[in-house]
Amino acid sequence: MSEKNPGSVEDRQADHGAGRDYSQVTTKVGYGPNSVTLRDNRTGAEAELPILSSSTGGFDVIDLGRLSGDFNRLKTLDPGYPHTASTVSNITYIDGEQGILQYRGYPIEQLAEQSTFMETAYLLREGELPTKDQLAVFEQEMADHANVPDDVVDVLYAMRNKHPMAMISAAVTALADEHPQSQVPPHHMIAKMPTIVANAFRISRGDDFMEPDKNRPYTERFLHMCFADDRGRYESNPVLTEAMDKIFILHADHEQNASTSTARTVVSTGADPVVAIASGINALWGPKHGGANQAVLLMLDEIGTVDRIPEFVARAKDKDDSFRLMGFGHRIYKNFDPRARIIKAHADEVLSSLHVQDEKLAIARELEQIALQDEYFIARKLYPNVDFYSGIILRAMNFPPNMFTPIFEQGRIAGQVAHMEEVVGKPDPITRPYQLYQGPKKRDFVPMERRDDEPGMTIVPDDHPELV
Ligand code: SDX
């Protein structure tokens, strides 16, 4: 039985029950050739599923939302979702094969070179670059709302011996509220994140909390809170400020990465978008994700000298060795990560302007060259990603490795807020995937007195061999 052709976009919305505006998605007219037919060869049942196209010629998707009837008991399995689109979004477009990254259609290369982080944050939220007046209003709003309540400051002090990622996650959670009328508007998190991240840095190194100086521009305000002495004295360095701003732009958004997807999942339950951002911060911390920039520096320190690179490249290729070349590989980019290219180009400029010699840059460059000529990495399309060089610049700015991921979050807050605002207005259905169950079949309860005799009942814990 083939699926009946669906009605209008409105019908599909009703079917999805999610109120999503599918009209924004180029649904090719009818199904006809723009469809796939799924056939269950066990029963002969068939389902015709529409193909939906991206507005930029990126991946088309099969709309599984139409699976029903004979296919109700057939689901799809895709651990980690390498073949699955979880939602529809208008914010960021990535083509991993071409190494393309665009925020609201603007290439990252142009934004990094010609824009500021405040302009980019506005663009991600509003969908258009701001006029001069719109930008001035936005920047003033970000200054006006840069403060955080005393209980957030208390949380930072209470967690001063923890990793700064734990500090900022807890501090953001402390801003969440259950009552919509008293919740912090999501975009105010762009204003408050510099105060939280910079003070996590200060307090974790034993310095006192520093209030945001609202007379300074956004990124300089962040650096002032990071590096001012206890009397608030700080001499801004335009090279440092520009490099920091560029790093924020490059990290601002990256469509459905693990941490942003986590935040979208949390907000799909109706939770406060602020606590959803805190959940995203926790996901970002992992070394396979935003924590990779810290892991890259630790890896370069462990390699130590150029002549030890072959040893580590061999380890990265060895399936029996858990070592991975941190800062290499990407789920989406099977070509160069455009952000890595930009950061690599600026690493030299920043280090020389800061009069910093970092032998790790030479090791990073040599490691990249060796890896890119190695069949293992070529066959798997493993290239340097955004994290490979960012840590070298951040260390040149006198940030310790444990501050690299919080700074990643400081840039990513703009994208996280844009995604929160995209879904809060038009909520996705609550995230609730299925699973393929392969555990025990139904069985009856076994009374305690019979358990020693029942076959398969004794699970011998490793640390209690006496229980055999
Ligand atoms: C970020 O998603 C995003 O957009 C993330 C991000 C963002 O802006 O939000 O771009 C930020 O997280 C960048 C990625 C930072 N992570 C790292 O640098 C950590 C090192 N990289 C790997 O852990 C890995 O490449 C991932 C996690 C990034 C991607 O892994 P995938 O897509 O799940 O690929 P995989 O693990 O299935 O690997 C495919 C093959 C495997 O070999 P085979 O089993 O096929 O023989 O490639 C190998 C892997 O063993 N491989 C690596 C490797 N990465 C993958 N081998 C050695 N070193 C590596 N780094």
Residue 285, pLDDT above cutoff 50: yes
- Total domains present in the chain: 2
Ligand 1 atom 33, closest CA: 331
**Residues 39 and 150 grouped into a single domain:** no
Residues 35 and 184 in one domain: no
Residues 147-156 pLDDT 10s = 999 999 999 9
Give residue 329 CA to ligand 1 midpoint distance, Å: 4
Q: Residue 428: what pLDDT?
A: 76
Ligand 1 atom 15, closest CA: 289
Residue entry with tokens 């689109």: 85
Is the pLDDT at 245 greater than 90, yes or no?
yes
The reply to whether 177 and 324 lie within a common domain is yes
In a domain, 199, yes or no: yes
Residues facing 48 on adjacent strands: 37
Nearest to 347 by CA among 320, 307, 387: 387
Q: Are 102 and 180 in a shared domain?
A: yes
**How much distance in Å is there from the Cα of 411 to the middle of ligand 1?**
21
Query: How far is ligand 1, taken at its centre, from the CA of residue 324, in Å?
Result: 8
Answer with the residue of higher pLDDT: 126 or 358.
126
Based on the domain organization, do 44 and 152 belong to the same domain?
no
Residue 432 covered by a domain: no
Q: Is the CB of 292 under 6 A from ligand 1?
A: yes
Residues 278 and 169 in one domain: yes
- Buried b / exposed e across 226-236, counting CB within 10 Å, b at 16+? bbbeeeeebee
Residues 166 and 225 in one domain: yes
Q: At 9, is the pLDDT very low, low, confident or very high (cuts 50, 70, 90)? A: very low
Instruction: Look at residue 448 and tell me if it is in a domain.
Output: no
Predicted local distance difference test score (pLDDT) of residue 15: 40
Candidate of 95, 108, 330 to mutate for ligand 1, largest count of ligand atoms within 8 Å of Cβ = 330
Q: How far is the CA of 374 from the centre of ligand 1 (A)?
A: 16
Q: Is the CB of 284 under 6 A from ligand 1?
A: no
Q: Which residue is closest in CA terms to ligand 1's atom 54?
A: 329
Q: How far is the CA of 94 from the centre of ligand 1 (A)?
A: 16
Q: Which CATH number is 183's domain given?
A: 1.10.580.10
- Whole-number Å distance between alpha carbons of 402 and 163: 7
| CA 331 to ligand 1 centroid distance, Å | 6
On average, the pLDDT of the chain sits at 90
How far apart (Å, rounded) are the C-alpha atoms in residues 157 and 309? 40
Whether the CB-CB separation of 71 and 45 falls below 8 Å is answered with: yes
**385 φ/ψ angles, rounded to the nearest 5 degrees:** -110, -175
In the predicted model, what is the mean pLDDT of residues 33-55? 90
Q: What is the DSSP string of 317-377?
A: H-TT-----TTB--SS-SS--HHHHHHHHHHHHHHHHTT---HHHHHHHHHHHHHHTSHHH
| Active-site residue set | 330, 387
Report which protein residue has its CA nearest ligand 1's atom 3. Answer: 257
pLDDT top residue among 359 and 68: 359
Is the distance from the beta carbon of residue 116 to the nearest atom of ligand 1 less than 6 Å? Answer: no
CB of 382 sitting under 6 A from ligand 1:
yes
Is residue 254 within 6 Å of ligand 1 at its C-beta? yes
The contacts of residue 408 (CB under 8 Å, 6+ apart) are 251, 284, 290, 293, 387, 390
Distance CA 162, CA 406 (A): 13
For residue 343 and ligand 1, the question of a CB distance below 6 A is answered with: no
**19 has pLDDT over 80:** no
Select from 319, 272, 289 the least CA-distant residue to 405.
289
Question: CA separation (Å) from 110 to 16, 22, 102, 133?
Answer: 37, 30, 9, 22
Q: Which domain holds residue 398?
A: 98-424
Q: Does residue 111 share a domain with residue 63?
A: no
CA of 300 to the centre of ligand 1 (A): 18
| Statement to judge: residues 13 and 148 lie in one domain | no
Residue 367 falls in which region: left (phi positive, over 0), alpha (psi -120 to 50) or beta: alpha
Half-sphere exposure in the Cβ direction for 195 (13 Å, CA): 26
Is 103 within the bounds of a domain?
Answer: yes
Question: Is 445 contained in some domain?
Answer: no
For residues 169 and 234, membership in a common domain is answered with yes
8-state DSSP, 31: S
With respect to residue 83, please indicate whether it lies within any of the assigned structural domains: no
93 lines ligand 1 (CB under 6 A): no
Is 78 a member of any domain? Answer: no
| Ligand 1 site, residue 451, Cβ cutoff 6 A | no
Report the C-alpha gap between 91 and 426 in whole angstroms. 14
Look at residue 35 and tell me if it is in a domain.
Answer: yes
Provide the β-strand partners of residue 92: 103
Domain end: 22, 38, 73, which one? 73
* pLDDT given for residue 453 in this prediction: 79
Question: Could you tell me if 267 and 218 lie in one domain?
Answer: yes
| Residue ID of nearest Cα to ligand 1 atom 34 | 331
The predicted structure's pLDDT at residue 28: 36
- The encoded tokens of residue 38 equal 């799924």
Residues 230 and 140 in one domain: yes
Q: Which of 233, 197, 240 is closest to 213 using CA atoms? A: 233
> What whole-number distance in Å separates Cα of residue 385 and Cα of residue 201?
25
Average pLDDT over residues 231-259: 96
Ligand 1 within 6 A of CB of 324: yes
Contact 51, 30 (CB under 8 A): no
CA-nearest of 249, 263, 286, 266 to 405 is 286
The single-letter code of the amino acid at 462 is D
For residue range 360-402, list pLDDT tens digits in order.
888 999 999 998 899 999 999 999 999 999 999 999 999 999 9
